[in-house]
Amino acid sequence: MIRASEFLIPNVRAPFDAPEDEVLRIAKAKMKRVCSSAAGLHFRLYKKSFDARQKSAILQVCTVRVSAKEPVCVREDALVRAGVRVFTEAVPEITHGTEPLNSRPLVVGMGPAGLFCALLLAEQGYCPILIDRGDGVAARAAATERFRTGGALDTESNIQFGAGGAGTFSDGKLVTRVNDPLCSYVLQRLVEFGAPAEVLTRAKPHVGTDILRRVVEGLLARIETLGGTVLYRTRLDEFTEESGGVRAATSAGELHVGALVLAIGHSARDTFAMLMRHALALEPKPFSVGVRIEHLRADIDRALWGDAAGHPALGAAEYALSDTTLARGVYTFCMCPGGEVVTAASEEGGVVVNGMSYHARDGLNSNAAVAVSVSPSDVGGSITDSIEFQRRLERAAFAAGGGDFAAPVQTVGDFLEGKQGTAPSRIQPTYGGGRVRTADLHAVLPSFVTEILAAGLHSFDRKLAGFAAPDAVLTGVETRTSSPLRILRGAARTALGHDRIYPAGEGAGYAGGITSAALDGLSTALAIMARFAPPKRN
């Protein structure tokens, strides 16, 4: 017998537009195979996705959570037969070490890794200092809007740098392939700070850039309320390791700290160079480059939902496509239903694109990156070679766009036929409010990338009708899909040979999205706390 008070019932299927009460009724019937009576049990939706393989009969596929006021005894074989499993809510297991932490910890970077690391440290009395080279949310949004509409690029505060990290100006996807029970904890904390409650139940949750900005502001305010210090426009320029701590030289002055968390993001190339001078153990890692593809949202909805397209129960359709049968991998990434292509440059003389959606996902177009895998050996083998390869593509895109941060675009038809000059018509590019120039993307990207891109477009068109429509629009270039390096760390999560340096998140090579980066930040905070006692307050 098993004694438990929480259960999950997966694979509860119902028509896509069935009300939640119908889903719970089906779940109760399944639970009666385990317990003779549902009295005293509380049923609620835990996760929901859609199965649209048969467009004439789209289903919602749900997991239902069952809670008992008092633990109940059930037979294990009955659970197995009914497809029910015992559930335990995951929370961080916090322990406090005894080693003195004579100064406050410093967390560099306000992306998900830095935010969640600093939040947990603050909640446990460690009073972290949290810095970012960019601005707070409001000032950063104003800077990015000025750049989008033709103003000057602020190389310190832009879509890559500032409060919330690159994810602030994205679709706010919370999907992750990381199988960590604390994923639900991350989602719950985001809801606590203003994310919609539906992220707790959607199998493919997203927040949207408009709501995510408020969530970031709430997280930062909580950190400050708990005794943390938040400093904007503060870039880490150098550090010196000392006995019992680290002296950090920043653009806003010197800080003496007990531990240094490097949650620097995937685009801090000057910081990468500084770390290489310090002889940290770094290694190049694979990354990807490519373009953004735009379709009409209505076309993608019809391709995936069929006649049910536009039904409010389904929302905007999203896809994730890949092909690993080619000479190198090609896949779609960061798909933004009803979104726009954004101006994501952080250096002068380079054009970079990314995607962004608002929570409603109600824009005219849907877009996604189509990215090709690149191995360090393809571009020279070193970290510097990888970064310079990215830069060359960004500068080539800048030149092809006319040298004023307009982006080069090409219709899919022209790209596949090896010609240029057809102006976008039915599908209008969204980058920079239309600041684009028709160009030949074969002249921007190397042939080993364009050949796989072309093959990928054909492959994806077979999986999703209309993906390679001749009037779909490609915008270049997408080069910041992930960090080109990894900062090696040991079992204690410190950088190899550096006792007080804690690499974390996507920029350190240990995450690939909002949720996985937040998880890595949490784990870093747990490692710091397991080693050190909270610093004494002055």
Please give the average per-residue pLDDT across 490-498, as a whole number.
Answer: 96
Asked whether the predicted pLDDT for residue 37 surpasses 80, the reply is no
CA–CA dist 323, 335 (Å, integer):
16
Q: What percent of the chain has pLDDT over 90?
A: 92
Please give the average per-residue pLDDT across 35-57, as a whole number.
Answer: 90
Q: Are 202 and 191 in contact (CB under 8 A)?
A: no
Q: Are 485 and 509 in contact (CB under 8 A)?
A: yes
Q: What was the pLDDT predicted at 117?
A: 98
Question: What is the DSSP pairing of strand 287-296 with strand 245-250?
Answer: unpaired
| CATH code of the region 105-284+483-531 | 3.50.50.60
Each residue's pLDDT tens digit, 55-104: 999 999 999 999 998 888 888 888 988 999 999 988 999 999 999 998 99
Distance of CA 425 to CAs 287, 410, 441, 472, Å? Answer: 33, 11, 18, 9
pLDDT bucket at 538, cuts 50 / 70 / 90? low
**Which ranges in 204-283 belong to alpha helices (H)?**
209-225, 269-277
Q: What percent of the chain has pLDDT over 70?
A: 99
pLDDT bucket at 114, cuts 50 / 70 / 90? very high
pLDDT bucket at 537, cuts 50 / 70 / 90? low
Please give the average per-residue pLDDT across 412-429, as a whole number.
Answer: 97
Q: What was the pLDDT predicted at 3?
A: 85
Each residue's pLDDT tens digit, 159-199: 999 999 999 999 999 988 888 889 999 999 999 999 999 99
Total-model pTM: 0.95
Q: Are 99 and 532 in contact (CB under 8 A)?
A: yes
Each residue's pLDDT tens digit, 252-287: 999 999 999 999 999 999 999 999 998 899 999 999
Q: Which of 179, 172, 164, 178 is nearest to 198 (CA)?
A: 172
CA–CA dist 77, 15 (Å, integer):
29
Domain assignments of the chain as residue spans, ordered by start? 2-86, 105-284+483-531, 287-478
Each residue's pLDDT tens digit, 362-397: 999 999 999 999 999 999 999 999 999 999 999 999
| CATH code of the region 2-86 | 3.30.70.2700
